[in-house]
Structure 1
């Protein structure tokens, strides 16, 4: 079942018809189809609920596996960062980076455009204020208030992309403190959020999911009626 201009599918768990952007996806490749995007049969919200339930039912095993994963990731990350720093330093010393910039000005311009295009939300002041109001003017992840954030860092809460590869509109925007915004970076929401057991709260997570999948639409509908 499809509507013109929309890509929709039915979640196998809740049986609701939803937009494709409400499903996790990954790029795959096959001999017959070539490169294509595979969408998981279960919507993000149902997947999150199932993941949380499994973690609760298998808490000891989950903590054990997470410790092993974090240990391995730390070793890989440190090794990778060291190689990258050494490689970058070597290129600077040999003048490769400066030479490449001079020879490829258009590629550099396009690289910078793509690099920064996903960092800025294209939302109005009214939309941003409604987003913060929805989360009680707190970081959607850890709960620090905007007032506390100003006193500590002299900054307002940041406009955070829940999906780092997602859109720059209200459907992908939540308020976040500098710490959460920086540490999440390009991680998937579930992959990152429950790493910090001190700040993790299921009610915050479900509220965040509800905002990006449903409740942001209520504001847009009201704005269009004015």
Structure 2
């Protein structure tokens, strides 16, 4: 898990000190990108759960998509780190391109990967194909990620006005929620399947292989 190096409390949170247990909310320092991805998914689900088919519900569409786009971005990045780690440990311990610092640099550099879902997906597929798996990367996940990328290639189209088509659009919100949620869960299932497969196999003898 990456550390921020900061240990001072957040000044904003100090403005609302918690005095009642039934009103408390916590932020935990151990939340990595994988846990944050799940948090964004859950927040999107709770928002979607308020849908009642009323005009006011139109206001939730772009915030919902913003939350889920962030969830996908963080899950892709977490999976890239994990798959690169598996390649280092089990297959290519001497490959400098798989060094944790090198992977982190690629993930954080906007012109390489950054917030680009298409680039992140292709990076992940490259790592996935290099691992010992007979299952191809799921086409339905690729299709949805490409659609999300097409709708918001910069990571700002859902968050700012004037970046989406200049037309009025309508859709079945509950069908959209089900589609996105299904593919997000399938993506997480792929991660679980790969990590469990390698956990069950012979482990590297040298700690340096990790």
Specify the TM-score bucket, using the shorter chain as the normaliser: 0.3 to 0.5
Q: TM-score, normalised by structure 1?
A: 0.35
Greater fraction strand? 1
Q: TM-score, normalised by structure 2?
A: 0.37
Which is higher, the Rg of structure 1 or of structure 2? 1
